[in-house]
């Protein structure tokens, strides 16, 4: 059939925009999120855009909720062709400030949520010879300062995607991983970190981006269609990744300078 898609974190932000992009092509969408009002709004917009589908509340930390969601896709849509593991949360703070609870929370949602999504839906994808689209982040490739738990979780998503790309080739299941940089989104709603100043700094980066979630959804649509594995929607991100591959030390030096500036700024704000 190739017109049935599942999206986690579809109640807002990039998840919603991906739903709308595929809805314009007339797709059937299985939408999940922890926010039911957000899901209802997305479904309404999906129908206005020319798609259809159903919603189901789902916390990606709970594997049984994901398997129940996969079952619902089989019952209501007869299967699934593309899964988008998009649900994620933001966090920040220097390593010394982050608690182990901060780590557990971040890994449970941003990494294990993707692992569980792939696991729960793989039997359906093997039947349809479908595709996996995992949403990681440029943080997976660049490891900026004061976000080590986020960097590690997202780097895990890239490593998982690379592993699946190789392992699922024989089953003809396609795999893509998307690494956006900062873009205008509501990611801060979920932000968790030890200092309010860190949240404010991340907020400024998100707001100052000229790229919206709609632009990113369009870019993903085009590059998945072209069969590209690693999808880097930001030009700056593509340049930074090329630099890191060529001269990693240069990048580490730049990140160290950035960390020093962030510490100085935090001290100034505290003072």
Q: Is residue 243 part of a domain?
A: no
Instruction: Give me the pLDDT at residue 7, please.
Output: 98
Q: Is residue 264 part of a domain?
A: no
How many structural domains does the chain have?
1
- Which domain does 189 fall in, by range? 4-235
The three-state DSSP-derived secondary structure of 109-128 is HHHHHHHHHHHHHHHHHHHH
Distance of alpha carbon 79 from alpha carbon 32, whole angstroms: 16
What per-residue string of b and e applies to 47-76 under the rule 16 or more CB within 10 Å gives b?
eebebebbbbebbbeeeebbeebbebbeee
Q: The domain that contains 213 carries what CATH number?
A: 3.40.50.720
Q: Is residue 199 part of a domain?
A: yes
Q: Which two tokens stand for residue 178?
A: 């998307």
Which pLDDT tens digit goes with each residue over 86-120? 999 988 899 999 999 999 999 999 999 999 999 99
Q: Is residue 251 part of a domain?
A: no
Q: Is residue 88 part of a domain?
A: yes
Instruction: Give me the pLDDT at residue 80, please.
Output: 98
3-state SS, residue 259: helix
Q: Is residue 248 part of a domain?
A: no
Catalytic residue among 63, 150, 219, 252: 150
Q: Is residue 226 part of a domain?
A: yes
All residue ranges of the chain with pLDDT < 70 are 1, 182-210
Q: Is residue 259 part of a domain?
A: no
Integer distance in angstroms from the first to the last C-alpha of the chain?
61
Instruction: Give me the pLDDT at residue 254, please.
Output: 85
3-state SS, residue 130: coil
Which pLDDT tens digit goes with each residue over 239-262? 888 888 998 998 888 888 888 988
Q: Which two tokens stand for residue 49?
A: 């855009």
Residue 221 is a catalytic residue: no
Instruction: Give me the pLDDT at residue 269, please.
Output: 82
Instruction: Give me the pLDDT at residue 76, please.
Output: 98
């Amino acid at each position: 059939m190739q017109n049935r898609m599942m999206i986690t974190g579809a109640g807002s932000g990039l998840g919603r925009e991906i739903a709308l992009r595929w809805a314009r092509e007339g797709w059937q969408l299985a939408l999940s999120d922890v926010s039911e009002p957000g899901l209802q709004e997305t479904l309404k917009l999906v129908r206005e855009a020319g798609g259809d589908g159903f919603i189901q509340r789902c916390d990606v930390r709970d594997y049984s909720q994901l398997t129940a969601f996969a079952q619902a896709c089989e019952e209501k849509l007869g299967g699934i062709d593309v899964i988008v593991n998009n649900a994620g949360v933001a966090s920040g703070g220097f390593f010394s400030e982050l608690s182990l609870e901060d780590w557990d929370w971040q890994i449970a949602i941003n990494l294990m949520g993707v692992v569980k999504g792939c696991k729960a839906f793989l039997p359906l994808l093997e039947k349809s010879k479908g595709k996996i689209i995992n949403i990681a982040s440029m943080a997976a490739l660049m490891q900026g300062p004061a976000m080590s738990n986020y960097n590690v979780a997202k780097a895990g998503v890239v490593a998982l995607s690379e592993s699946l790309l190789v392992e699922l080739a024989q089953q003809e299941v396609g795999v893509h991983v998307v690494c956006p940089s900062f873009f205008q989104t509501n990611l801060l709603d979920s932000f968790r970190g030890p200092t309010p100043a860190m949240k404010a700094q991340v907020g400024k980066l998100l707001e100052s981006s000229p790229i919206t979630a709609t632009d990113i959804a369009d870019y993903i649509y085009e590059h998945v269609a072209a069969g590209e594995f690693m999808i880097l929607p930001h030009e700056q991100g593509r340049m930074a990744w090329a630099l890191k591959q060529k001269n990693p030390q240069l990048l580490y030096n730049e990140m160290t300078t950035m960390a020093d500036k962030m510490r100085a700024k935090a001290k100034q704000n505290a003072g």
